């Protein structure tokens, strides 16, 4: 039970302090550099994105705010002016005069804290509110004293431990004007006096004190660059002096507490230090040294004097020389060990500043676990309280700390770091310093236009509340892994881009007219026989050696369907039927016939646009004549499709006319060009689809579709209607723009499937266009479009956060006014692709709700890049978790999903998306191949190891026999001759016997 007495939590805290916090034997001092020589821990732990485990029972779950950012009431009840009041009023576009209005609505803040269930609340005292003239030798401002006493009492009444910060950047303006602020050593004594007053006034009820919050930012941005208050631009010289005085002021406050208050108050005092994290691209000795210097330049600047040897790191002394102030030997002893635990701030501002310090070959990343390990190694395994952690996506207000919290579980469980608490920053949206109100970091949303400043919990607040209630991450009961099979007709596929035509290596058998003599000279050489010419035949499919090896590689995965694209510009170099490259067509015919022999199915893409290829994958003459802005390309595509259906259709059951037309239109800068290109792409698809239905479907019995890039969209801030609308608008422009004209909208029955979505038309009209910039379909075109889909093909890779463009930011028009973001706390690949399995299930449901269940949905491409050469854990988890979500969509939601294709078969050169290494690396199978193959073999995730066999229908049985006969035709012919010879031999023997008788 939390009270203001010395309870069990405090007892555990101080026992830990004695046992492990000050142990000098756990780690040798100053060994932080060793972390870059250790193998970086995997993001994927125990086959889960999050390590599901619990925290210690006495773990301090907290959230926090600072006075200036949230209190408001900037001149009420006798409060003095702070340097931030002066700075925002004189130089800044906005002020914190009201902000979140916590001075008046502090009880609502406590209610928000009780809603979360936190054990502690970090808040700062306003120095100018308590002492308007800055001096604690004078009388305090009694309304301020009453306010903070009421707040502390209310917290304790609700069993919430107050963690009180003495100074969070809001220095009294009078001290800045009179002394020059922290540049003057006078402030050391003034701060000690202010701290002593606070200890005396509130210390009987406060057991955790933080003297200052992130002095690094105060020194660098307040006095060095002038980005923060007081706005001085004194450069490094000024910042170094300010930091020196702040370290001494902190030490003085700690000694005051230690000498005069600790014996009877029995609390703990520390200072919050901010940090970034940096990784070398290659852990060479020189790169490791640079990374160590980078950490010492930020965290070590303040931590080394306090937690180390009492002095600055040698790297700082070498860098700054005589500009760096010095500690006397007595001062070193006086400063050293003046913190009872290590309080860490790990937020976006330090990360951004850290990027300016990164050297060539280094990357700054938000890897909190690595920072915690570095602190353990560098400063002899102290107790650590994370006093600020949280994130935001610019202009979105998203604040998700889940991955950061998971880092704690791993740091505690696997790395032995003694983390005692976590502070999710911040409780409320507030004034975010030099960003003003442009970004939001609160767990609770504040509408700054509302006079009452109501506190509304965001999804992050609900999530944090659940974590606190469960004291960590037990197994997620809201969406457990399910057991079950996919349908027998399910496509287990692999998707590739345009398949390269490899005429070489090539077997010369039967195609070389020359007769050779071998080994005449004894050296094993072949010598042509002069004057002899043999009859040849055209090349056979078996002559193309690359085809068989490539397809056998595919077959080894256990997949049943292979998706690849034809090269339009190779087949029709001039873009029309006047010049058909029959050799290329024959090559594709060989691939398809070989697949058929292997009883494997082909899914063929007619047009695969490529941003990297010249002409976007179009034949050069078509591109030169305007490409997809010219209607002639529509007619040319229809002719091209007809050729492919005629020449290759006998071996193809599934056709995709165009791959990702919604990505292709991004190459056009003007909004009207995007609309025209999309229009012509839709017409091209519909004409190709109608052609197949009318001319080829009856005989070939295939299905035709087009494939859309289908990432899921989440509102960046779900508590803002504008963000929710932006996410829906993103999906409508990305998917419904192409699907509604073909399938209609079953969710809104007013559309019959012959036009663009009403949402797009309405939005474009509201953006100021007198007439819709969308082209119109003729009646003939509407008839061609209606129902022109054999199945719904979606390429899904990730989930994006979506918000409207900020009003001040220019954007192209007409467009859908959306910006996409990625939550920095999501697990991401090397290329920045977020792994969000649940997004697949959501996009499948969105499509089903809008278009019904009549047509099957096939995920025709899905994958992630993984830099591992063999043990690609990222991809292994991706395949399992995304297929789990597909199974949930099928079994729980009733989605008619009929296939899943992993992207892609083979790397081009270096480890990337491939299930196999590149051909130059011997096409070796990665571990994900066996994972995928096991899932295919079991048809999903069955209850037991028993495999449920699918019943083959009669047609499949006959087809299987035919395929076996086709595969073994040479043996069958030989056996036939053998049988005939045997019968002939028997007849002769019978005749001889008959004549002898």
- What pLDDT, on a 0 to 100 scale, did the predictor assign at position 810? 56
Q: Where are the alpha helices (DSSP H) in 117-234?
A: 127-130, 142-157, 173-179, 186-202, 215-217
Same domain for 429 and 534?
Answer: no
- What pLDDT, on a 0 to 100 scale, did the predictor assign at position 18? 37
DSSP state of 817: -
Q: Report how many domains make up the chain.
A: 4
CATH number of the domain that residue 73 is part of = 3.20.20.80
> Rounded distance, CA 338 to CA 331, Å?
12
DSSP 3-state percent helix, strand, coil across the chain (nearest 5): 45, 15, 40
Per-residue confidence band for 135, with pLDDT thresholds at 50, 70 and 90:
very high
Could you say which of 515, 543, 571 is where a domain stops? 543
For residue 398, is pLDDT > 50?
A: no
Same domain for 213 and 117?
Answer: yes
Q: How many CB atoms lie under 10 A from the CB of residue 186?
A: 15
Is residue 666, in this structure, part of any structural domain at all? no
pLDDT mean over 137-157: 98
> Rounded distance, CA 33 to CA 288, Å?
7
Is residue 907, in this structure, part of any structural domain at all? no
For residue 620, is pLDDT > 80?
A: yes
Measured in degrees and rounded to the nearest 5, phi and psi for residue 962 equal: -60, -40
Same domain for 12 and 98?
Answer: yes
Per-residue confidence band for 396, with pLDDT thresholds at 50, 70 and 90:
very low
Would you call 744 exposed, middle or buried from its count of C-beta atoms within 10 A (0-12, 13-18, 19+)?
buried
| Half-sphere exposure of residue 242: CA atoms within 13 angstroms, side-chain side | 28
For residue 938, is pLDDT > 90?
A: yes
- What pLDDT, on a 0 to 100 scale, did the predictor assign at position 806? 73
> Rounded distance, CA 434 to CA 429, Å?
14
Calculated CA dihedral for residues 485, 490, 496, 499, nearest 10 degrees = 150
Is residue 173, in this structure, part of any structural domain at all? yes
Hey, is 645 helix, strand or coil?
helix
Could you say which of 543, 571, 599 is where a domain stops? 543
For residue 107, is pLDDT > 80?
A: yes
Q: Which residues contact 232 (CB under 8 A, 6 or more apart)?
A: 181, 183, 222, 223, 224, 226, 238
Same domain for 414 and 511?
Answer: no
Q: Choose between 394 and 732: higher pLDDT.
A: 732
DSSP state of 384: E
- What pLDDT, on a 0 to 100 scale, did the predictor assign at position 30? 83
> Are the CB atoms for 603 and 651 separated by under 8 Å?
no
Is residue 75, in this structure, part of any structural domain at all? yes
Separation in Å, CA 566 to CA 347, 460, 497, 755, 902: 48, 46, 9, 30, 19
> Which residues are registered as beta bridge partners of 64?
122, 425
Q: Which residues contact 957 (CB under 8 A, 6 or more apart)?
A: none
For residue 678, is pLDDT > 90?
A: yes
Provide the residue range defining the domain that includes 756: 710-789+799-829
Is residue 962, in this structure, part of any structural domain at all? yes
For 835-867, the pLDDT digits (tens) are: 999 999 999 999 999 999 999 999 999 999 999
Would you call 520 exposed, middle or buried from its count of C-beta atoms within 10 A (0-12, 13-18, 19+)?
exposed
For 177-188, the pLDDT digits (tens) are: 999 999 999 999
Secondary element (H or E) of residue 879: helix 873-891
pLDDT mean over 681-707: 98
Q: Tokens in use for 132? A: 């308007």
- What pLDDT, on a 0 to 100 scale, did the predictor assign at position 644? 98
For residue 750, is pLDDT > 70?
A: no
Per-residue confidence band for 328, with pLDDT thresholds at 50, 70 and 90:
very high
pTM (global) more than 0.85: no
Query: Smallest Cα–Cα separation from 168: which of 224, 127, 209, 225?
Result: 127
Secondary element (H or E) of residue 78: none
Buried/exposed code over 906-932 (b: 16+ C-beta within 10 A; e: otherwise): bbeeebbbbbbbbeeeebebbebbebb
Measured in degrees and rounded to the nearest 5, phi and psi for residue 720 equal: -110, 120
Of all residues in the chain, the percent with pLDDT exceeding 90 is 68
Same domain for 377 and 276?
Answer: yes
Is residue 751, in this structure, part of any structural domain at all? yes
Q: Tokens in use for 696? A: 């080829």
Highest mean pLDDT among 34-38, 315-319, 438-442, 610-614: 315-319
Q: 213-222, 602-611, 631-640, 822-831: which has the minimum mean pLDDT?
A: 822-831
For residue 508, is pLDDT > 70?
A: no
Query: Smallest Cα–Cα separation from 256: which of 195, 182, 212, 307?
Result: 195
- What pLDDT, on a 0 to 100 scale, did the predictor assign at position 986? 60
For residue 407, is pLDDT > 60?
A: yes
> Rounded distance, CA 143 to CA 954, Å?
89
Is residue 555, in this structure, part of any structural domain at all? no
> Rounded distance, CA 744 to CA 126, Å?
60
Is residue 852, in this structure, part of any structural domain at all? no
Same domain for 466 and 512?
Answer: no
For residue 541, is pLDDT > 90?
A: no
For residue 520, is pLDDT > 90?
A: no
Q: 47-61, 209-223, 370-384, 548-562: which has the minimum mean pLDDT?
A: 47-61
| Half-sphere exposure of residue 339: CA atoms within 13 angstroms, side-chain side | 30
Same domain for 419 and 529?
Answer: no
Q: 118-122, 570-574, 738-742, 907-911: which has the minimum mean pLDDT?
A: 907-911
> Rounded distance, CA 634 to CA 780, Å?
15
Per-residue confidence band for 9, with pLDDT thresholds at 50, 70 and 90:
very low
> Which residues are registered as beta bridge partners of 446?
455
What spatial distance separates the first Cα and last Cα of the chain, rounded to whole Å?
116
What angle do the packed helices 873-891 and 838-851 form, to 10 degrees?
30
Mean of per-residue pLDDT scores for the chain: 87
- What pLDDT, on a 0 to 100 scale, did the predictor assign at position 599? 96
Same domain for 172 and 233?
Answer: yes
Highest mean pLDDT among 442-456, 679-693, 931-945, 949-963: 679-693
Hey, is 466 helix, strand or coil?
helix
- What pLDDT, on a 0 to 100 scale, did the predictor assign at position 23? 38
Same domain for 460 and 392?
Answer: yes
For residue 989, is pLDDT > 80?
A: no
For residue 957, is pLDDT > 50?
A: no
Same domain for 466 and 522?
Answer: no
Q: Choose between 504 and 385: higher pLDDT.
A: 385
Q: 99-108, 186-195, 404-413: which has the minimum mean pLDDT?
A: 404-413
pLDDT mean over 126-155: 98
Query: Smallest Cα–Cα separation from 67: which of 49, 80, 56, 52?
Result: 80
Same domain for 443 and 523?
Answer: no
For residue 164, is pLDDT > 60?
A: yes
pLDDT mean over 227-239: 97
Per-residue confidence band for 39, with pLDDT thresholds at 50, 70 and 90:
confident
Q: Tokens in use for 559? A: 């997949």
Same domain for 457 and 517?
Answer: no
For residue 796, is pLDDT > 60?
A: yes
Q: Where are the alpha helices (DSSP H) in 753-872?
A: 758-766, 779-785, 838-851
């Amino acid at each position: 039970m939390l009270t203001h007495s010395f309870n069990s939590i405090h007892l555990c805290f101080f026992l830990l302090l004695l046992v492990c916090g000050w142990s000098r034997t756990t780690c040798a001092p100053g060994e932080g550099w060793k972390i870059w020589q250790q193998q970086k821990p995997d993001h994927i732990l125990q086959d889960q994105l999050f390590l599901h485990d619990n925290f210690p029972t006495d773990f301090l779950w907290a959230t926090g705010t600072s006075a200036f950012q949230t209190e408001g009431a900037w001149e009420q009840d006798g409060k003095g002016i702070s340097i931030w009041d002066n700075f925002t009023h004189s130089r800044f576009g906005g002020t914190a005069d009201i902000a979140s209005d916590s001075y008046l609505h502090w009880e609502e803040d406590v209610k928000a804290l009780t809603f979360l269930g936190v054990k502690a609340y970090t808040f700062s005292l306003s120095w100018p509110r308590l002492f308007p003239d800055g001096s604690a030798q004078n009388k305090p401002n009694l309304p301020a004293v009453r306010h903070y006493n009421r707040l502390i009492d209310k917290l304790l009444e609700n069993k919430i431990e107050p963690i009180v910060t003495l100074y969070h950047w809001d220095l009294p303006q009078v001290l800045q004007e009179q002394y020059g602020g922290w540049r003057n050593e006078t402030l050391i004594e003034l701060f000690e006096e202010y701290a002593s007053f606070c200890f005396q006034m509130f210390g009987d009820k406060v057991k955790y004190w933080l003297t200052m919050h992130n002095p690094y930012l105060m020194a660098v941005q307040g006095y060095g660059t002038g980005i923060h208050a007081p706005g001085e631009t004194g450069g490094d010289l000024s910042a170094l002096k300010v930091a020196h005085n702040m370290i001494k002021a902190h030490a003085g406050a700690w000694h005051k507490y230690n000498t005069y208050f600790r014996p009877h108050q029995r609390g703990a005092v520390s200072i919050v230090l901010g940090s970034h994290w940096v990784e070398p691209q290659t852990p060479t000795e020189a790169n490791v040294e640079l990374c160590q210097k980078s950490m010492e330049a930020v965290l070590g600047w303040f931590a080394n004097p306090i937690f180390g040897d009492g002095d600055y790191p040698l790297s700082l002394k070498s860098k700054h020389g005589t500009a760096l102030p010095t500690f006397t030997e007595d001062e070193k002893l006086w400063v050293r060990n003046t913190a009872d635990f290590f309080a860490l701030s790990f937020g976006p501002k330090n990360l951004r500043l850290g990027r300016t310090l990164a050297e060539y070959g280094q990357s700054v990343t938000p890897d909190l676990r690595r920072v915690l390990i570095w602190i353990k190694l560098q400063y002899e395994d102290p107790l650590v309280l994370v006093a600020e952690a949280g994130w935001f996506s610019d202009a979105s207000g998203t604040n998700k700390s889940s991955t950061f919290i998971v880092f704690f579980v791993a740091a505690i469980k696997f790395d032995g770091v003694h983390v005692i608490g976590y502070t999710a920053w911040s409780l409320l949206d507030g004034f975010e310093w030099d960003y003003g109100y442009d970004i939001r970091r609160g767990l609770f949303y504040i509408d700054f236009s509302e006079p009452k400043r109501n506190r509304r919990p965001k999804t992050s607040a609900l999530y944090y509340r659940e974590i606190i209630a469960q004291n960590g991450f037990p197994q997620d009961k809201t969406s457990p892994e399910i057991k079950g099979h996919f349908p027998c007709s399910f496509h287990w596929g692999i998707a590739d881009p345009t398949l390269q035509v490899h005429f070489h290596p090539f077997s010369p058998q039967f195609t070389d007219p020359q007769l050779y003599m071998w080994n005449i000279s004894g050296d094993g050489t072949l010598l042509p026989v002069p004057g002899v010419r043999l009859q040849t035949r055209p090349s056979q499919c078996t002559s193309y050696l690359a085809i068989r090896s490539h397809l056998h590689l595919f077959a080894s995965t256990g997949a049943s369907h292979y998706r690849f694209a034809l090269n339009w510009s190779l087949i029709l170099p001039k873009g029309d039927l006047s010049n058909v490259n029959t050799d290329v067509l024959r090559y594709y015919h060989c691939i398809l016939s070989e697949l058929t022999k292997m009883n494997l199915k082909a899914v063929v893409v007619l047009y695969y646009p490529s941003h990297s290829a010249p002409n976007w994958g179009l034949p050069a003459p078509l591109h030169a004549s305007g490409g997809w802005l010219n209607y002639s390309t529509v007619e040319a595509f229809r002719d091209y499709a007809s050729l492919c259906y005629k020449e290759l259709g006998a071996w193809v059951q599934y056709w995709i006319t165009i791959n990702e037309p919604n990505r292709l239109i991004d190459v056009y800068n003007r909004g009207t060009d995007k609309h025209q290109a999309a229009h012509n792409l839709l017409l091209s698809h519909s004409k190709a689809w109608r052609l197949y239905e009318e001319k080829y479907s009856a005989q070939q019995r295939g299905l035709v579709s087009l494939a859309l890039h289908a990432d899921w969209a989440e509102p960046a801030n779900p508590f803002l209607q504008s963000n929710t609308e932006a996410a829906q608008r993103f999906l409508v422009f990305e998917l419904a723009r192409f699907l509604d004209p073909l399938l209609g909208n079953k969710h809104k029955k007013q559309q019959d499937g012959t036009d663009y979505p009403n949402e797009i038309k309405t939005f474009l009209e509201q953006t100021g266009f007198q007439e819709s910039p969308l082209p119109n379909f003729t009646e003939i075109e509407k008839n061609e479009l209606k129902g022109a889909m054999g199945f719904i093909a979606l390429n899904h890779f990730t989930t994006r956060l979506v918000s409207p463009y900020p009003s001040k930011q220019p954007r192209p028009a007409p467009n859908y006014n959306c910006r996409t973001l990625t939550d920095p706390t999501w697990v991401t690949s090397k290329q920045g692709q977020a792994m969000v399995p649940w997004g697949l299930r959501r996009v499948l449901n969105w499509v089903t709700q809008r278009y019904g269940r009549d047509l099957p949905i096939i995920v025709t491409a899905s994958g992630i890049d993984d830099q591992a050469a063999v043990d690609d854990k990222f991809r292994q988890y991706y395949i399992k978790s995304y297929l789990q979500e597909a199974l949930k969509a099928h079994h729980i939601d009733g989605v008619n999903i009929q296939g899943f294709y992993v992207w892609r078969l083979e790397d081009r050169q270096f480890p990337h998306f491939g299930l196999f290494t590149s051909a130059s690396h011997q096409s070796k199978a990665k571990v994900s191949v066996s994972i995928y193959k096991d899932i295919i073999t079991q048809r999903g995730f069955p209850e037991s190891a028993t495999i449920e066999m699918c019943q083959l229908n009669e047609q499949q049985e006959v087809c299987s026999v035919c395929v076996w006969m086709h595969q073994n035709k040479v043996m069958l012919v030989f056996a036939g001759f053998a049988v005939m010879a045997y019968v002939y031999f028997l007849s002769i023997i019978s005749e001889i016997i008959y004549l002898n008788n």
